[in-house]
Structure 1
Amino acid sequence: MTKTELYNILTDNGWTIKKGIDDCAYKQLPDRQIQVIPGIKKLIDKYQIIMMPSVSTKDFSILVEYIHENKKPRTIVHSGIVRNNQQSIYTQNLTREVVENYLQEIEIWAQEQDIEAGLLKYSAIPFDTKGIYPLYHLSALAITGQTAKLKEYLQNFKQGDRMTFSNYIKQDYIERALETAEAHR
């Protein structure tokens, strides 16, 4: 099975492919969005179907983009709230049916995830975490309407205290998060 054939199976099952640095596929459900990063690897005696699934909401993903870029996204964005620990499966026979069954498992997993618990987890993580997580932290605070914490962060930033936030987090990020949180109250 080629990557093109894999992509065709995804699109036949309602997924949208986004080509880029890391090709992704998205499926929008009524209240959540699933993302996979599809791939196939031939091993010595079997195949590995790689998907790396995560689930989010369109609102959270757009908010992350807004806080970070101060603009509305022009393309599909996905900022994972919950990631699946099962990143891939292994099979002796790589068939359309095997891939479609795996996609069904991913969709069932995604529907079982507690989005609110994932957002609360992000809102509770330390603000001095590394990578994308400080941005997710601010976004989770905003979407859950936690204005008091954001006001505290903003006050500290205005006084020159960055509170050990990652260097890329700027005062305007917190301002946009607070603006959104106040709208979600």
Structure 2
Amino acid sequence: MEHREIWLSSLLLGRGLRHATLPTAAPGTRPIWHLAALVLPSDAAKLKFYQASFEAGDRLGFVPYITKDYIDRAMSLAGEYSSGFRSRMAQIRRVENSGQ
């Protein structure tokens, strides 16, 4: 991968990860972006908390279309992507540290 592509990936990733701080009651499609942002760095602790809360009947303010299935899928994806994400971030850091 070229340095430009790695830089662009890191820029887009940074923009996407800011959605992790959105409130669960955010309107529109933001709750989906929030869950996706938790998948990328594999924030398993928060996703497990969401799973347990949904199982206990506490929706945590999520909009009605977000179901436990969404949370379960996010958890599954987090597991699948965690090793690839760490490898990609290490590659991005190497390029950023090289000053190119």
Q: TM-score, normalised by structure 2?
A: 0.69
Q: Which residue of 2 aligns with 1:117?
A: 14
CA distance in 2, matches of 1:148, 1:113: 24
CA distance in 2, matches of 1:123, 1:31: 23
Indicate how the Cα distance of structure 1 residues 177 and 31 shifts in structure 2: closer, same or farther if over 3 A, else same.
farther
Query: Which residue of 138, 161, 170 corresponds with 2:67?
Result: 170
Shift in Å at residue 170 of structure 1?
0.4
Q: Give yes or no for contact 1:127–1:165 (8 Å, CA) kept in 2.
A: yes
Shift in Å at residue 145 of structure 1?
1.0
Query: Which residue of 119, 131, 134 corresponds with 2:28?
Result: 131
- Paired residues in the alignment total 78
Letter in 2 for 1:120: L
Larger radius of gyration: 1
Shift in Å at residue 112 of structure 1?
9.2
Q: Which residue of 2 aligns with 1:50?
A: none
Q: C-alpha deviations, 1:119-165, integer Å up to 9, x for none?
A: 22011111110000000100111122111100000100000000110
Shift in Å at residue 31 of structure 1?
4.9
Q: Which residue of 2 aligns with 1:155?
A: 52
Output the aligned Cα RMSD.
2.2
Percent of matched pairs sharing the same residue: 33
Equivalent position SS for 1:184: helix
Q: Give yes or no for contact 1:119–1:144 (8 Å, CA) kept in 2.
A: no
Indicate how the Cα distance of structure 1 residues 166 and 31 shifts in structure 2: closer, same or farther if over 3 A, else same.
farther
Q: C-alpha deviations, 1:94-131, integer Å up to 9, x for none?
A: xxxxxxxxxxxxxxxxx498122212201111111000
Shift in Å at residue 182 of structure 1?
1.4
Higher-helix-fraction structure: 2
Shift in Å at residue 184 of structure 1?
2.1
Unaligned runs of 5+ in 1: 1-29, 33-110
Runs of 4+ in 1 over 2 A off after TM superposition: none
Matches within 5 A, 1:70-85: none
CA distance in 1, matches of 2:16, 2:49: 20
Q: Which residue of 2 aligns with 1:97?
A: none
Q: Which residue of 2 aligns with 1:19?
A: none
Unaligned runs of 5+ in 2: 83-100
CA distance in 2, matches of 1:141, 1:133: 12
